[in-house]
Structure 1
Amino acid sequence: MPPIPVIFSPLVTDWIIAWATLGGAIGTVGAFFTALALWRREAQRDSARRERERVRWEDERRRQARLVHGFAEFSWISEDAPSLGAFVIVNDSNEPVYQVVMRRRERPPLSKSMVPARESIRVPMESDERNQFAPYFLDASPEPHSPIVTPVSFEFGDANTVRWSRDGRGQLFEVMTEQGWLARRRAPFI
């Protein structure tokens, strides 16, 4: 049997196969980077969509609570001193709020089981409570029968049974009752 000749120089078909293999490798790497870029773009789009949905959900949760306000109100009958004072809780939402609690210093808390939709409650202040709020109203120029108001802290439950709290600056916080802790620094008494 004659020996098989070995050729060390590449043939044309060898060059074609080598260039085709190189083109396939470059195409594979290009497809990988294209897929990676598309995956990243899709992940960013999903993240932005999830964030928009989270913000929309949070706005929907706060929709009713944003329309509930509490304040201390003073009216002057004469220019000498404030003579009328009241705590006011206003529910401007279309649904009632429940278990409204306003804590007071050295007094039992003011508590109302429900404030109907589009209504407010008014609780007269005691004379020592009016004195407590006097620093807020010293700078105000009294005009007879013109009320001056300042926010007070209170808690309430909305129609979806979520507990909310407004602090003495009027900021709104959700009260975390399931874990037994608050999501914020405890607001001081009014």
Structure 2
Amino acid sequence: MKELGVLKSKLAEDMEAVRARVRDELRVEFQGEKEKMEADHAEELRRVREQFQTEREEFQKEKEDLVRLHDVAKAEAVREAQVAAVRQYRSSPSFGKVLADAMTKTVIAIRKKVCPENPGVRWNTRAMVEHVQMWLREKRSLEPDTESEDEKDEEGEDESSEARDGETGVAADKVAVDAAAEEGGGECNCN
């Protein structure tokens, strides 16, 4: 009986040692698998972040390109609308009257400003009109050429437009001269 008890005790110790060894082996294997899964997860997360950043940069670039194209198209549309408006306005019958009124107001304004500070200056109406005409010519020479290539080929229409503009300018000059003369005479008399 004593030997049987010793055998049972030894068997129990052996079984406990086997259990401990198996637990250690499983713990090491589990730890290795855990570390491998964490490394794989970190690598996958890094790859996804890089892909997201790349797609975000591409999207931002496409957005900037679209905004730039929109701005260019908008500016072109505004320029075409302005050119059309100027062309329509210059071809309207009221253009000569508006130009004459503007020249008349400018002549009268110059007459009123020439007086107290410069009593020795004498500007007659014709000189002031010529001054305004020179200013208008300089201003028009600085304006950009808004005609397209197709419109430049229409020589007949351009010549008739130039002739009409010349007639309008002459009529406007005459109206301005008459209006300024009626406003206060030929010269500026400060006294």
TM range (shorter): 0.3 to 0.5
Higher helix share: 2
TM-score, structure 2 length as denominator? 0.39
Instruction: Decide which structure has the larger Cα Rg and report it.
Output: 2
TM-score, structure 1 length as denominator? 0.39
